[in-house]
Amino acid sequence: MTRLYFTLISCFAFVAMAMAQETAPTPLSLQDCMDYALKHNYSIKNAAIDVLIQKAQNAQSVSAAYPHINGKMEFDDFNVPQRSFVDASAFSPGIPSGTIIPIAFTLPYAGSAGITASQVIFDGSVSVALKARNTVLEFSKLNGAVTEENVRYNVFKAYNSLVIAYRQYNIIKNSLQFARSIENDVTITQQNGFAEKMDAERANVSVNNLVSDSIRINNILTVSEQVLKYQIGMSINAPIVLTDTVVESRKQIAADLLIAEGTYENVPEYKVVKTALSLNEFNLKRYNLAALPTLSAFWAYGSNYGGLNGRDIFMFNKYWASSTLGVQLTVPIFNGFMRKNQVTEAKLNIEKSKNNIDNMKLTIDFQAAQSRISLKNAILQVQSQHRNLDLSNDVLDLAQRKYKSGVGSNLEVTQAQTDQLRAQTNYFSALLDLINAEADLKKALGLLK
């Protein structure tokens, strides 16, 4: 009995440990989220699939340069055979000239089997497709790089937004705890006749406001956490805990970023428009080469037989073989000005791609300049709000010491606490602006890795 009891306890303990492990939150740094998103974000997954699709399409283009071989077997029943019309007088002198009669030269049953092979020797469109396939694949990979950069950008902002929301929530909780302590002191003092009812009600209002703020911040926390999980491709029900919570260090990172320089080649979108220009140039070559003749070789081998009944066509030993070997030169002469208009369209697309490259350079320069200004303003705002926060902390500390010493009122403490909460809210709002401006500038410079 003791052994059974011990076994049951062990099983329950094992199950409890397993459940605890299942519900343990996953620690995530910012880099962890980036790495997780690269593996699990569905946009990135689809971008990787697009690269594989492009590889398959490239293989289809290459297949045009390989030999094409086809086999064919056919059995025919000419139940109503086609007639040929001849002059019967050619077969018999007694028949008047001009006597036309229908004659079926085809036997009722026929069978044939054969194999054909062809090989392109020269085709301008095929040769251009072979040269362009690596560029097309690179274009697909660059689109995937753009998707990855956008995901990193969103994860960066979502992670730091959640960190700030946690900081604000913890501050609200601490303030609420202190406000409840004051409310309890004032209530006891008022019950003993040493404080007015108004003081107790004022303390109660302060607590109620903080409770409301804590609920609001907690809801923001829930939404922000779900946004982060969505961005990295994690289940929104999975418990997590953030490890990169020192957002103050981003002030120095942002200051260093102001003097950072980037190049157009670092920006994935710029590489995309440059590659699009190369593809349009290949397209122009394809249409220009379409004016050249196409040369191909072919070979056909087969055998056939015909009979008066259906069984005859299965007598394969009576089949007669035939073979054809040759080359074919196809010369384009006139196609209704289609190629001319295709060349015109390709040239216009090249001109458009060049405009897109110039516009992308201008866009990158504009976004970098705007982001630098926004980041400078954010740094100044953070510094200003940090000074205000330090002052509010000093005022609150003084009000609390005066209150504990009996020379200050709870009204002073409540007002100082309200001012501190406002200063903290402004400070963290400025930090969030700083983080968003940092993300924008990194994205503009192509430094968001």
Please give the chain's pLDDT, 449 residues, in tens.
Answer: 444 444 444 444 444 444 444 568 899 999 999 999 999 999 999 999 999 999 999 999 889 889 999 999 999 888 888 888 888 887 777 788 888 888 888 888 999 999 999 999 999 888 898 899 999 999 999 999 999 999 999 999 999 999 998 888 888 888 778 778 777 766 776 666 655 666 666 777 777 887 887 888 888 889 999 999 999 999 999 999 999 888 877 788 888 888 888 889 999 999 999 999 999 999 999 999 989 999 999 999 999 998 888 888 888 888 999 999 999 999 999 888 999 999 999 999 999 999 999 999 999 999 999 999 999 999 999 999 999 999 998 998 898 888 778 777 777 877 888 888 889 889 989 999 999 999 999 999 998 87
Question: Which domains, ranges and CATH numbers included, belong to the chain?
Answer: 25-64+123-292+332-445 (1.20.1600.10)
| Position 149, amino acid | E
Cα–Cα distance measured from residue 369 to residue 44, given in angstroms and rounded to the nearest whole number: 29
Number of CB atoms found within 10 A of residue 282's CB: 17
Helices (H), 76-116: none
Tokens of 257: 């970023």
pTM check: above 0.75: yes
Cα–Cα distance measured from residue 239 to residue 222, given in angstroms and rounded to the nearest whole number: 11
Number of CB atoms found within 10 A of residue 94's CB: 6
Cα–Cα distance measured from residue 156 to residue 159, given in angstroms and rounded to the nearest whole number: 5
